[in-house]
Homo-oligomer: A and B are copies of this chain.
Amino acid sequence: MFEVIGERINTSRKKVQAAVAERDADYIVDDVKQQLAAGADYIDVNAGARIGHETEDMQWLIDTIQPIATVPLCLDSPDPAVLEMAFQMVEAEPMINSISLETDRLGAMLPFLEGKACKVIALCMDDAGMPASSDDIIGRAVKLVEELNRVGIKTESIYIDPLVQPISTDSNKGVMVLDAVRGIKKNFPEVHITGGLSNISYGLPQRRIINRTFVGLMMDAGMDSAIIDPLDQAIMATIKTADMLLGHDNFCGGYLKGVRSGAIKS
């Protein structure tokens, strides 16, 4: 089944930042409960936006969220020290967001990850920037899996983010990432594919129809996870519907439950 990483608890969102600054636990708890009710499989926690406060903000967020979280947390920081502190706090095996092939990030993250029991989001980004072709994405994914395997992270715990790029800049950007996902899954059938989706429609009008059509195509190619807002009902309904069409929903049970709850509407 598709896994949804709920992206809302991020201090780059103004209301979340205000709630964190004021230590408004009710706001955070309510937001997380809504994400869980909407079907989040992980709750991403990012406390990076208040410069100089990341450690204490992350600590407070985990303290606030963990008692009501019925799913694991996705610890979202580029700082191994913050991640180490957060990792010691969490009870359920977390997801780490994220590693990449950028020299500094790779060098900082590999020692932190070594021997740890966790899932890892691995971005196909390197020192040259965004990938330029399907083969480039696949090549970076292969390197990421090799580096992570070497420090003891199993392939089935790796969530590759192929980095969706705007189709408005190049009509081929959709096919590029779809082909890359197929290529990565061919190399590593057990690896997961995740990422944000809305970049695809950046710069174009009527973005929602592009985003929801695209998620179906990405799932068909092999994407089995996404970092999204679980309260975006249109995307969530399309994910449940595509999961059914792709044979992951016995007797259409999940789809029918979604219709009954009002989560899936035409």
Contacts and interface: CB of A to CB of B under 8 A. Distances in A.
Interface of A: 167-168, 171-172, 174-175, 178, 200, 204-210, 213-214, 216-217, 220-221, 237-238, 241-242, 244-247, 249-252, 255-256, 259, 264-266
A246 B241 CA distance: 20
Contacts of A221: 220
B206 A246 contact: no
A171 to B, nearest CB: 5
A256 B204 contact: yes
A174 B245 contact: yes
Given A216-B216, A247-B174, A238 B209 contact: yes
A55 to B, nearest CB: 40
A217 B204 CA distance: 22
A263 to B, nearest CB: 10
Copies in the complex: 2
A209 B252 contact: no
Given A206-B259, A206-B264, A252 B168 contact: yes
A251 B238 CA distance: 26
Contact of A213 (B204, B241, B265): B241
Chain B CB count within 10 A is highest, among A172, A175, A205, for A205
Contact of A266 (B206, B214, B216, B247): B206
Contacts of A213: 216, 238, 241-242, 245
A251 to B, nearest CB: 6
Contacts of A168: 252
B265 A209 contact: yes
Nearest to A251: B171
A266 B171 contact: no
A207 B245 contact: no
